[in-house]
């Protein structure tokens, strides 16, 4: 009789243990996006195994990249002096492993440097503004997707998906300077899985002009706004060509983001405005300011 009792107990324990293991096996962590800042305009966004690289700046050292200097006074008919820019912070290259997709706001060398142009796999899928697609094809990239404003591309990411919508990016608030600077793309990025979703607005090199704000507002309120700051151009004839703190505050007031994650600052001497100015002006604002150092990863759930 006692032997039968032990057998019955063993069966019950086995069932309970198996149920516990089944519950453990079926439990899944809540969705999240890991965002790693690599310096300048360069991010890695990782979601369910999909890794997206933005505006790759891969050069290092005293001549990390070369480009005309928008901060010097120059004759607009002749263009600026081409200058070699040092990188001021170490490059955390490990985060580049396993990239699935590159997203470009535009192809100026301070957003797509010579090292990236040389090193990126030519079979890597790349989303670019439509006006830049031929330029990349000439470089030998085989999977170039030139997207117009208000065009969406969707990618599977594990049990979820990522939808990337191009929105206008105005590189200047002075229309007469657009012929020198061109226009690019910002991107509205929606990460989703089942009923869960998180939205990012990555501004690119843009100002909060009326058309940009209206385009983004149609998509909703971003959970995270990622502005390109740095105050570039304030001492040159083009005028301001990337936002400072004042413009970020205009964007934030219009779009009501939950978080602001500023990038495009501190990494190169090209950036004239210290990020401390945005930190000071953000005190008491309704958004959370996520100031991270190069190589740091922040997780959004």
pLDDT tens string 91-106: 998 778 899 999 999 9
pLDDT exceeds 50 at position 18: no
pLDDT of residue 62: 97
DSSP the chain: -HHHHHHHHHHHHHHHHHHHHHHHHH--PPP-EEEEEEETTEEEEEETTEEEEES-----GGGSEEEE-TTS---TTT-PPEEEEPP-S---GGGGTT--EEE-S---TTTS-HHHHHHS-TTS-EEEEGGGHHHHHHTT-S-EEEE-TT-EEEEEETTEEEEEEEEEEES-S-GGGHHHH-EEEEEEEEEEETTEEEEEEE--S----HHHHHHHHTT---SEEE-B-S-TTTTSTT---S--HHHHHHHHHHH--SEE--BS-SSSTT--S-THHHHHHTTT-SSEE----TT-EEEE-
pLDDT tens string 250-272: 999 999 999 999 999 999 999 99
From 189, 187, 206, select the one nearest 198 (Cα to Cα).
Answer: 189
pLDDT of residue 228: 98
Average pLDDT of the chain, as a whole number: 91
pLDDT of residue 25: 42
- Integer Cα distance of 1 and 58 in angstroms: 75
Q: Could you tell me the pTM of the whole model?
A: 0.90
pLDDT of residue 26: 42
pLDDT of residue 12: 37
pLDDT of residue 156: 98
- Integer Cα distance of 27 and 115 in angstroms: 43
pLDDT tens string 195-238: 999 999 999 999 999 999 999 999 999 999 999 999 999 999 99
Confidence of residue 22 (pLDDT cuts 50, 70, 90): very low
- Integer Cα distance of 242 and 11 in angstroms: 69
Look at 1 and 296; give whichever has higher pLDDT: 296
Four-point Cα dihedral 256, 259, 264, 267, nearest 10? 150
Instruction: Indicate the domain borders of the chain.
Output: 30-300
Confidence of residue 177 (pLDDT cuts 50, 70, 90): very high
> Percent of the chain at pLDDT above 90?
87
Confidence of residue 28 (pLDDT cuts 50, 70, 90): low
pLDDT tens string 270-289: 999 999 999 999 999 999 99
Confidence of residue 186 (pLDDT cuts 50, 70, 90): very high
pLDDT of residue 77: 92
- Topology, domain 30-300: Metallo-beta-lactamase; Chain A (3.60.15)
pLDDT exceeds 60 at position 11: no
pLDDT tens string 29-73: 789 999 999 999 999 999 999 999 999 999 999 999 999 999 999
């Amino acid at each position: 009789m006692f032997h039968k009792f032990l057998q019955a107990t063993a069966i019950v324990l086995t069932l309970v243990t198996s149920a516990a293991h089944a519950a453990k096996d079926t439990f899944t962590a809540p969705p999240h996006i890991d965002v790693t800042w690599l310096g300048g305009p360069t991010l890695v966004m990782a979601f369910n195994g999909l890794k997206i690289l933005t505006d790759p700046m891969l050069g290092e050292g005293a001549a990390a990249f070369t480009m005309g200097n928008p901060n010097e006074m120059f004759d607009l008919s002749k263009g600026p002096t081409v200058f070699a820019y040092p990188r001021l912070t170490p490059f955390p290259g490990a985060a580049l492993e396993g990239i699935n997709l590159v997203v470009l706001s535009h192809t100026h060398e301070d957003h797509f440097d010579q090292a990236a142009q040389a090193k990126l796999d030519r079979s890597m899928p790349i989303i670019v503004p439509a006006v830049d697609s031929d330029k990349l094809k000439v470089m030998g990239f085989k999977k170039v997707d030139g997207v117009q404003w208000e065009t969406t591309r969707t990618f599977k990411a594990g049990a979820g998906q990522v939808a990337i919508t191009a929105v206008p990016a105005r590189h200047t608030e002075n229309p007469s300077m657009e012929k020198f600077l061109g226009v690019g793309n910002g991107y509205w990025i929606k990460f989703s899985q089942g009923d869960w979703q998180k939205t990012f607005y990555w501004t690119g090199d843009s100002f909060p002009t009326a058309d940009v704000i209206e385009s983004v507002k149609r998509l909703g309120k971003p959970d995270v706004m990622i502005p390109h700051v740095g105050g570039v151009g304030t001492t040159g004839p083009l005028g301001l060509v990337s936002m400072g703190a004042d413009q970020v505050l205009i964007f934030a007031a219009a779009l009501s983001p939950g978080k602001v994650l500023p990038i495009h600052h501190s990494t190169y001497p090209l950036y004239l405005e210290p990020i401390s100015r945005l930190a000071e002006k953000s005190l008491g604002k309704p958004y959370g300011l996520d100031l991270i150092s190069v190589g740091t990863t922040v997780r959004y759930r």
